[in-house]
């Protein structure tokens, strides 16, 4: 077991202190710092990006070849609220006041913060790939942002956000959330350079943060996991949700999806309602409409061509449900786009 003690006032310092212990090379690109490791201690990378108003992103994509514990001290200048989500693998966390490690499972979130002077211990397993998304909120800076309205948070999170003197510990382990994994996949696929890339990443980070908060609200409201499905079955539902997302034009039926997935129709419905807040039919219709709207925006196809290319057989039905969803007909939507382009 190797313990690395980190006493830092930012995670940029964390990268440098990890580098001192286990080597690697740090690269800096625009506002993005990445520690690359490829040696006897492990392989992979740690990425840190600071944004305005005290919001930071720290990504771990790493396999460590020994059991490692990162021991991080909460200092007055840098004691954030942390939002953690492992999209691959798992790790363990405990506060320094006790020896009770709790596992943060794959697809499970953890929201936590410590008292100033306290220690957080993160236990990374040996020879197991771990991909972790960590968002940090520096409260004093974040509360200065004009659009920040923490009074809209639930009572518990509100108390955590306004604790700018870091007088209280807090930890909340969330339930399984596969939708967040899709957002993190989206985050990792962002391309580009310079400011435009950072702005895209920042927008996705705020989207992930909102998911953490929504999940905490659901947990307080007592919304449980669907008892009819196991974790592996929910992963299967997510897999088929992604298949529909990538190929909306196919002629899907609940019966065929049930056969292809190996899940009963009832389990499919329960899984789609839990993951997407929609029945299977509603989800297919939603994906097709979103695809159609994107095609109206980004292609020269006419409305009829778009209707049939995404799997609808009736233009009138498509126009009806498009207007119900977006409050505007497809033709009017296209005309508005053309007016904007001509200006």
CATH of residue 256: 1.10.10.60
Mean pLDDT, the chain cut into blocks of 10 residues (343 residues total): 80 81 91 94 94 92 93 86 94 90 91 92 94 94 84 87 91 85 89 88 94 84 68 87 91 93 92 87 94 89 90 90 91 77 49
Residue 273, domain extent: 231-342
Looking at 191, 220, 249, the residue that finishes a domain is: 220
CB 47 within 8 A of CB 32: yes
Closest CA to 100 of 71, 131, 121: 121
Residues 195 and 47 in one domain: yes
Flag whether 193 is in a domain. yes
pLDDT reported for residue 226: 64
> Where among 198, 220, 242 does a domain terminate?
220
Sequence-ordered list of residues with C-beta below 8 angstroms from that of 137, at least 6 positions apart, any chain:
54, 55, 80, 81, 83, 161, 209
Q: Is residue 304 part of a domain?
A: yes
Count structural domains, the chain. 2
The enclosing domain of 208 has a CATH number of 2.60.120.10
Question: What's the pLDDT score for residue 64?
Answer: 94
Pair 53, 93 in one domain:
yes
> Within this chain, do residues 51 and 145 fall inside the same structural domain, yes or no?
yes
Which residues partner with 56 through β-bridges?
A: 50, 136
Same domain for 201 and 55: yes
Q: Are residues 140 and 208 in the same domain?
A: yes
Residues 50 and 124 placed together within one structural domain of the fold: yes
* Bridge partners, 342 (sequence order): none
Residue 119 lies in a domain: yes
Same domain? For 133 and 208 the reply is yes
Whether 225 is covered by a domain: the verdict is no
Q: 235 and 214 in one domain?
A: no
- Is position 99 within any domain? yes
Strands of 2-6's sheet in order across: 2-6, 68-73, 119-124, 91-95, 102-104
Considering the domain architecture, whether residues 199 and 278 belong to the same structural domain is answered as no
Do both 33 and 97 map to the same domain? yes
Please tell me the number of Cα atoms within 13 Å of 280 on its side-chain side: 22
CB-CB neighbours of 48 under 10 Å: 22
How far apart are alpha carbons 213 and 216 in whole angstroms? 5
For residue 153, give the nearest of 109, 112, 87, 212 by alpha carbon: 212
Q: Are 72 and 169 found together in one domain? A: yes
Cβ pair 36, 23 in contact under 8 A: no
Q: Tens of pLDDT along 320-334?
A: 999 999 999 998 988
Is position 226 within any domain? no
Enter the tokens of residue 288. 């097709």
**DSSP symbols for 221-259:** TT-PPPTT--HHHHHHHHHHHHHHHH-TTS---HHHHHH
pLDDT in tens, 197-214: 999 999 999 999 998 988
| pLDDT reported for residue 223 | 63
Alpha-carbon gap, residue 139 to 157, rounded angstroms: 12
Closest CA to 157 of 86, 109, 214, 84: 214
Of the residues 162, 188, 220, which one is the last residue of a structural domain?
A: 220
- Do 210 and 243 have their domain in common? no
Q: Which two tokens mark 241?
A: 């949700």
Distance in angstroms between the alpha carbons of the first and the last residue of the chain? 64
């Amino acid at each position: 077991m190797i313990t690395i003690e980190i006493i830092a006032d930012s995670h940029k310092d964390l990268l440098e202190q990890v580098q001192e212990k286990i080597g690697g090379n740090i690269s800096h690109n625009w506002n993005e710092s990445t520690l690359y490791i490829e040696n006897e201690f492990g392989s992979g990378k740690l990425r840190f990006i600071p944004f305005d108003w005290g919001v930071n992103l720290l990504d771990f994509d790493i396999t460590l070849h020994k059991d490692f514990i990162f021991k991080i001290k909460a200092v007055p200048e840098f004691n954030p609220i942390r939002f953690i989500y492992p999209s691959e693998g798992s790790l363990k966390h405990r506060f320094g006041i006790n020896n009770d490690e709790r596992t943060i499972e794959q697809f499970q979130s953890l929201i936590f913060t410590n008292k100033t002077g306290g220690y957080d211990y993160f236990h990374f397993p040996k020879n197991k790939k771990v991909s972790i998304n960590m968002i940090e909120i520096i409260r004093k800076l974040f509360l200065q942002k004009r659009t920040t309205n923490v009074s809209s948070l639930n009572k518990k999170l509100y108390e955590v956000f306004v604790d700018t003197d870091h007088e209280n510990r807090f930890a909340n382990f969330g339930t399984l959330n596969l939708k967040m994994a899709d957002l993190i996949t989206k985050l990792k696929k962002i391309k580009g350079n310079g400011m435009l890339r950072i702005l895209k990443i920042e927008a996705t980070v705020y989207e992930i943060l909102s998911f953490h908060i929504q999940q905490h609200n659901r947990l307080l409201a007592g919304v449980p996991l669907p008892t009819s499905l196991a974790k592996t079955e929910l992963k299967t539902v997510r897999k088929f949700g992604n298949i529909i997302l990538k190929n909306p034009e196919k002629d899907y039926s609940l019966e065929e999806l049930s056969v292809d997935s190996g899940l009963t129709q009832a389990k499919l419905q329960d899984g789609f309602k839990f993951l997407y807040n929609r029945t299977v039919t509603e989800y297919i219709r939603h994906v097709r409409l979103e695809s159609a709207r994107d095609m109206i925006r980004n292609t020269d196809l006419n409305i009829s061509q778009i209707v049939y290319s995404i799997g609808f057989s009736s233009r009138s039905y498509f126009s009806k449900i498009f207007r119900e969803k977006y409050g505007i007909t497809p033709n009017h939507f296209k005309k508005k786009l053309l007016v904007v382009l001509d200006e």
